[in-house]
């Protein structure tokens, strides 16, 4: 149920983002948007991988009984 | 007059070649930047797993790249062999972006691909990363120039017909490159490639996770693909809307066909969610409509309207009548280029020259065209509605399915539990063909919607082909289909073999 609620929430978020982009950028400078957007997508994907490393290191630390790092 | 069967066979051959080629291209466009992302993480963190990932997915990229090049080269030759009148008519404009693509983007991409594959042990980390980014940039720049050429066929900006040389000539390179169709189409197509690569990587990673193989690589690849894919899918949908918005102005018949809009209606116009268009009767059967949505989608306002096919056909009939004197003047100018009266007559009607050509299909001397022939020529200006309508809906439907898939993928990968969701991993594997189908439907929407023109409003398809024999065209078509089917089979065999083998164990030792 919780997953479904989040799924609906994320889908709504995607729809809002698309609507905003559509309304703001009917005749947009799309080449420029591609340059910026591609760099952003690549970097976010890269950040996602780094985040997974951190999550696994944290989980491994918990399994080994180490105290979790303070944030 | 070119034999109609030859034209149809030429169209089928080009469509078959393009559809085969377009199975390879999007994966190259998207996977190249995903490789760049993986290698960026490797260089910044120094963790060898990311090098393994870049090398493994790079191997699959290379299989796809090689076969994509093999299928793409023949398309450029087909312009000359099967579409010689088209090439002569618009070659001065159309040839420029294709030449730039070959000399700049393709050479760049091909050169750096070699360095990317063989340079792992010869280049420093930073140098190799730069090479990978350049491959990604080169692949996408290659697509840029091809799509600029294609956009000229959809919206011929920056060019004018010269009645003395009997060819279209470039008037503004800037308009050619920056026209709205080229901009939105390039970005839409390029990031559709990102979505394709993301689904491919997610699907193969899911397959590994289902078998508990290469888990470290699979989980990281899946996470990166999910993030890359969700953002790209949002971008594809946004740019799809932009492309529709552009088409509403530049290609109203394509838009009307995409929406099955037979009749002009007052605002706010309803959207045909599902319908079965009947071209002969010019009406839809069993239509399910959403009120006001069409106005909102194509004009971005509730009080905007777009013309229906009835109005567009009436407008086309007037343009055919106005274009006939231009064709007649052109015949005079072809024999006597200095004839001032013919030149003045041509200039007075030149904006409808293409519509005059539509009438010439039925009457070699269009000045003698009957009212029935003019009406038929006007009917010809409408693309095949049912095919365009359904190709568009299938593309959009599959696009929304991929958005839902990526949202769910994020929900499972961000807390790092995706490897435990067996049902979802199975779905991910079955999702692999979806973006390829969506890409093909998108291409069909764009190109069938352009009919009956090779260059929209300027040059009809029926007069663009070469004067080959039916036997020649049928033989070469069968040859192409057989050859390309073999290519697809080879690609699938090599891909599946590489996936089954997985990342090679000696990669880390080598480094």
Cα(B220)–Cα(B53) distance, integer angstroms: 9
User: How does pLDDT run across B412-470, given as a tens digit for each residue?
Assistant: 999 999 999 999 999 999 999 999 999 999 999 999 999 999 999 999 999 999 888 89
Q: If DSSP states are collapsed to H, E and C, what string results for B145-161? A: HHHHHHHHHHCCCCEEE
Return the residue in A30, A40, A62 with the most chain B beta carbons within 10 A, the one to mutate for interface testing: A30
- The CA distance from B361 to B1, in Å, is 8
CA distances from B36 to B33, B189, B224, B337 (A): 5, 19, 11, 56
Q: How many CA atoms lie within 13 A of B396 on its CB side?
A: 17
Most confidently modeled range among A4-8, B155-159, B405-409: B405-409
* pLDDT reported for residue A17: 79
Q: Is the pLDDT of residue B296 over 80?
A: yes
Residues B357 and B411 in one domain: no
Q: Which domain holds residue B8?
A: 4-251+383-499
Q: Based on the fold, state whether residues B394 and B364 are members of the same structural domain.
A: no
CB atoms inside a 10 Å sphere around CB B47: 16
Token digits of residue B288? 């399910």
Which chain A residue lies closest to B402 (C-alpha atoms)? Answer: A11
- Highest mean pLDDT pick, A52-56, A67-71, B106-110: A52-56
pLDDT for residue A62 is more than 80: no
- Domain assignment present for B265: no
Closest listed residue to residue B25, CA positions, set B112, B109, B125, B133 = B109
B460, β-bridge pairs: B453
B498/A61 Cα distance (integer angstroms): 35
B200, B214: one domain: yes
pLDDT category of residue B509 using cuts at 50, 70 and 90: very low
State whether B16 and B110 are in the same domain: yes
- At residue B511, the pLDDT reads 43
pLDDT in tens, A10-23: 888 888 877 777 77
C-alpha angle B159/B161/B165, rounded to 5°? 125
> Where is the domain boundary, B358, B380, B402?
B380
Q: Which residue has the higher pLDDT, B72 or B162?
A: B162
**Structural contact between residues B460 and B357, judged by C-beta atoms closer than 8 angstroms:** yes
CA nearest to B258, candidates B269, B239, B271 = B271
User: Which residues are CB-neighbours of B24 under 8 A, at least 6 positions away?
Assistant: B64, B65, B67, B68, B71, B72, B491
Report yes or no on B294 lying in a domain. Answer: no
Return the H-helix or E-strand segment holding B459: strand B459-460
Q: Are residues B234 and B358 in the same domain?
A: no
Tell me, yes or no, if B401 comes closer than 8 A to chain A by beta carbon: no
What is the average pLDDT score of chain A? 82
Predicted local confidence at residue B506, as pLDDT? 53
User: To which residue do tokens 């997953």 refer?
Assistant: A3
- At B504 the three-state DSSP class reads coil
Would you state the structure tokens that stand for residue B159, as one six-digit string? 């060019």
- The ranges assigned to domains in chain A are 2-62
Q: What is the mean pLDDT of residues B305-318?
A: 94
pLDDT, mean of residues B300-320: 92
The answer to whether B354 and B458 have CB atoms below 8 angstroms apart is yes
B225 lies within 8 A of chain A by CB: yes
Model confidence at B111, pLDDT cuts 50, 70, 90, reads confident
Residue B300 lies in a domain: no
Tokens of B335: 């024999």
Task: Identify the pLDDT of residue B510.
Answer: 46
pLDDT digits (tens, 9 = 90+) for B179-207: 888 999 999 999 999 999 999 999 999 99
> Based on the domain organization, do B331 and B230 belong to the same domain?
no
- The answer on B112 and B228 residing in a single domain is yes
Which uninterrupted H or E stretch holds B162?
strand B159-162
H-only helix segments in B381-432: 385-413, 422-430
The C-alpha angle with vertex B434 and arms to B443 and B154, in degrees rounded to 5, equals 10
For residue B242, name the pLDDT band (cuts at 50, 70, 90). Answer: confident
CA dist B131 and B113 (Å) reads 8
**What is the pLDDT at residue B299?**
85
B351 and B429 share a domain? no
- What is the distance in angstroms between the Cα of A40 and the nearest Cα belonging to chain B? 9
In the prediction, which pLDDT does A67 show? 58
Place of tokens 């055919």: B320
- How far apart, in whole angstroms, are the C-alpha atoms of residue A14 and residue B134? 31
- The number of distinct structural domains making up chain B is 2
Which residues have a Cβ under 8 Å from the Cβ of B55 and sit 6 or more positions away?
A: B120, B503, B504, B507
B-chain residues near A28 (CB < 8 A): 183, 242
Q: Are residues B44 and B88 in the same domain?
A: yes
Structure confidence by residue, pLDDT tens digits, B348-400: 999 999 999 999 988 888 888 899 999 999 999 999 999 999 999 999 999 99
pLDDT at A68 over 70: no
Helices (H), B287-361: 293-299, 309-335, 340-349, 353-360
Residue pointed to by tokens 């069967």: B5
Q: Do B187 and A34 count as a contact with CB atoms less than 8 A apart?
A: yes
> Does residue B284 lie in a domain region?
no
CA angle B11, B17, B19 (to 5 degrees): 95
What pairing do the DSSP bridges indicate for beta strands B271-278 and B453-455?
Answer: unpaired
Whether B193 and B23 have beta carbons less than 8 Å apart is answered as no
Structural domain contains residue B138: yes
Q: Which of A42, A51, A59, A62 to mutate to test the interface with B (most CBs of B within 10 A)?
A: A42
- Is the pLDDT higher at B435 or at A67? B435
Instruction: Compute the distance between CA of residue B161 and CA of residue B214 in angstroms, rounded to an integer.
Output: 60
CA distance B33 to B132: 8
Express each pLDDT in A18-40 by its tens digit. Answer: 777 777 666 678 899 899 999 99
Residue B89 lies in a domain: yes
Q: How many beta-carbon contacts under 8 Å exist across A and B? A: 125
Supply the pLDDT for residue A26.
Answer: 62
| Interchain proximity B242–A26, CB inside 8 Å | yes
pLDDT (average), residues B216-245: 93
Query: What value does the mean pLDDT take over residues B461-482?
Result: 91
Residues B212 and B234 in one domain: yes
d(CA B111, CA B378): 49
Rg of chain B (C-alpha set): 25
Domain for residue B33, yes or no?
Answer: yes
Question: Cis ω on the peptide bond leading into residue B269 (within 30° of 0)?
Answer: no
Based on the fold, state whether residues B357 and B246 are members of the same structural domain.
no
When CB atoms are compared, the residue of B180, B242, B408 closest to A7 is: B408
Chain B contacts in chain A segment 28-67 (CB below 8 A): 28-31, 33-34, 37-38, 40-53, 55-56, 59
Residue with structure tokens 């690609």? B491
B141 and chain A in contact, CB less than 8 A:
no
User: How many helical (H) and strand (E) elements, i.e. helices and strands, does chain B have?
Assistant: 19, 6
- Say if the Cβ atoms of B238 and A26 lie within 8 Å: no
Q: Are residues B108 and B206 in the same domain?
A: yes
Q: Looking at the domain assignment, is residue B127 inside a domain?
A: yes
For the stretch B327-356, what's the b/e string if a residue is b when 16 or more beta carbons lie within 10 angstroms of its beta carbon? bbbbebbeeeeeeeebbebbeebbebbbbb
CA–CA gap between residue B239 and residue B243 (Å, rounded) = 6
């Amino acid at each position: 149920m919780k997953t479904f609620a989040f799924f609906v929430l994320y889908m709504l978020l995607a729809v809002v983002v698309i609507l905003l982009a559509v309304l703001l950028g009917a005749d947009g400078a799309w080449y420029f948007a591609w340059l910026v957007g591609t760099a952003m997508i690549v970097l976010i994907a890269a950040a996602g991988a780094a985040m997974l490393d951190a999550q696994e290191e944290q989980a491994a630390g918990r399994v080994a009984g180490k105290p979790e790092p303070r944030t | 007059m070119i034999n109609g069967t030859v034209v149809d066979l030429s169209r089928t051959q080009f469509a078959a070649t393009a559809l085969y080629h377009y199975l390879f291209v999007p994966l190259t466009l998207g996977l190249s930047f995903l490789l760049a992302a993986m290698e960026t993480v490797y260089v910044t963190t120094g963790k060898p797993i990311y090098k393994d990932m870049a090398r493994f997915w790079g191997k699959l990229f290379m299989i796809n790249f090689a076969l994509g090049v093999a299928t793409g080269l023949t398309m450029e030759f087909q312009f000359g062999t099967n579409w010689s009148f088209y090439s002569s008519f618009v070659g001065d404009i159309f040839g420029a972006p294709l030449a730039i693509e070959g000399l700049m983007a393709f050479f760049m991409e091909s050169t750096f691909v070699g360095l990317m594959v063989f340079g792992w042990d010869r280049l420093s980390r930073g140098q190799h990363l730069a090479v990978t980014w350049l491959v990604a940039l080169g692949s996408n720049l290659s697509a840029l120039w091809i799509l600029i050429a294609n956009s000229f066929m959809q919206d011929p900006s920056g060019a004018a017909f010269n009645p003395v040389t009997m060819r279209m000539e470039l008037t503004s390179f800037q308009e050619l490159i920056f026209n709205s169709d080229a901009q939105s189409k390039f970005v839409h197509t390029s990031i559709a490639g990102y979505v394709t690569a993301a689904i491919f990587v997610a699907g193969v990673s899911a397959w590994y996770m289902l078998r508990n193989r290469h888990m470290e690589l699979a989980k990281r690849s899946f996470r990166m693909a999910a993030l890359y894919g969700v953002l790209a899918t949002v971008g594809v949908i946004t740019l799809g809307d932009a492309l529709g918005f552009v088409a509403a102005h530049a290609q109203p018949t394509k838009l009307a066909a995409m929406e099955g809009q037979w009749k002009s209606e007052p605002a706010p116009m309803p959207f045909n969610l599902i319908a079965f268009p009947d071209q002969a009767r010019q009406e839809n059967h069993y239509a399910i409509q959403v009120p006001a949505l069409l106005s909102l989608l194509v004009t971005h306002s509730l009080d905007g309207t777009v013309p229906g096919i009835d109005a567009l056909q009436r407008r086309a009939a007037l343009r055919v009548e106005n274009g006939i004197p231009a064709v007649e003047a052109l015949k005079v100018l072809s024999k006597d280029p200095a004839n001032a009266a013919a030149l003045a007559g041509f200039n007075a009607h030149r904006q409808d020259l293409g519509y005059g050509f539509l009438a010439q299909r039925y009457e070699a001397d269009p000045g003698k065209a009957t009212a029935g022939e003019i009406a038929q020529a006007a009917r010809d200006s409408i693309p095949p509605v049912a095919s365009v309508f359904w190709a568009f809906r299938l593309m959009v439907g599959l696009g929304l399915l991929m958005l839902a898939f990526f949202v769910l993928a994020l929900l499972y990968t961000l807390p790092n539990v995706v490897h435990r969701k067996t049902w979802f991993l199975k779905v991910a594997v079955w999702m692999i063909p979806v973006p390829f189908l969506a890409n093909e439907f998108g291409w069909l929407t764009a190109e069938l919607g352009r009919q009956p023109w090779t260059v929209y409003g300027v040059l009809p398809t029926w007069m663009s082909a070469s004067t080959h024999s039916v036997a020649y065209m049928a033989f070469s078509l069968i040859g192409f289909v057989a050859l390309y089917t073999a290519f697809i089979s080879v690609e699938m065999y090599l891909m599946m073999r590489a996936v089954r083998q997985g990342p090679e164990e000696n990669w880390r030792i080598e480094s």
